Amino acid sequence: MQYLKTLLVKVDIDPERLEMYNLSAAMGPKWMEICTEFTERIKKLGPSPIWWAEHDHKKKESD
Amino acid sequence: MIVGKQKSLEEIWDMVEDYQKVLVFGCNTCVAICHEGGNKEAEILGSLLRIKAKQENRDMEIKTGGIERQCEHEYLDQASEAVEEADVVLSLACGAGVQFLGEKFPHKTVLPGLNTTFIGVVDAPGEFSERCQMCGECILHLTGGICPIARCSKSLMNGPCGGSNNGSCEINPDIPCAWQLIHERLEAQGRGHLIDVFIPPKNWITSRAGGPRNQKREDVAT
């Protein structure tokens, strides 16, 4: 996971966008908690550089 | 085995950005062991280049592949279809593989994705160190199986020099003094007398000093 994060940095993607959790199928409440926290984290980070690149590309095409 | 280190993504991008169809091609033997140039690493690098291309708004088709060895005709034959489809091949093989791929497909541009660093061993997972400089005339029988050419910073034939300090080399304290290692190994093997045997100056004609080297085994060559 640490290695993958270093790869993301190389392409200007915040490594905070990637995380791995080990959970069993019986850990529903923990799963819900992680999903909520991670969703909040991603919302704070905003759209990814890939999204922005595609957005800019589409905008240029429509102009 | 041959050890290599992948070039930085920036350097690789500068090489490939002007091409449309790129094949990132792994070599799944030596450089796969050091986790730099195998088929798996080719897939990872391909993914990074696709992300980069998207961010740079480049219309590129980046494919990945690989073979067991890029230094043998038999394996390269399997690669012809993938190579022919590409505008450029980014090879993750050692320098020999990159050149051999280029010789096999001379009409294709073949780029190096890796810096070939040395012939070495796997000390521990992810850790590699040099052992051989391919001098062409092995003297390991005289030096307790430790090569003074590759492992002594000064490649001394008779040592240690005055820079040996508490078992370390004066060039870098993290480098063990090869001649100290040789002494200790020979003593441990009961062959300590060999340290008194003068090793004459080396004839470097068998090394690179004699120009590019070739080798032929008559009973196998066709």
Q: Which domains are delineated in chain B?
A: 2-118 (3.40.50), 136-210 (no CATH)
How far apart are alpha carbons B165 and B180 in whole angstroms?
Answer: 9
- Residues of chain B with Cβ-Cβ distance to A12 below 8 Å are 55
Q: Which residues of B125-220 form beta strands (DSSP E)?
A: 127-132
Q: Please name the residue of chain A whose CA is at the shortest distance from the CA of residue B12.
A: A10
pLDDT in tens, chain A (63 residues): 999 999 999 999 999 999 999 999 999 999 999 999 999 999 999 999 888 888 888 888 888
pTM over 0.95: no
Residues B179, B181: Cα–Cα separation, whole Å: 5
Contact B57 A53 (CB under 8 A): yes
CB contacts of A57 in chain B (<8 Å) are: 57
Query: Is the predicted pLDDT of residue B170 greater than 90, yes or no?
Result: yes
Contacts A–B by Cβ distance under 8 A: 22
Q: Where are the domains of chain A?
A: 2-62
The partner residues of B27 in beta bridges, in order of sequence, read B67
Give residue-wise pLDDT tens across range B102-157.
999 999 999 999 999 999 999 999 999 999 999 999 999 999 999 999 999 999 99
Structure tokens at B55: 């961010």
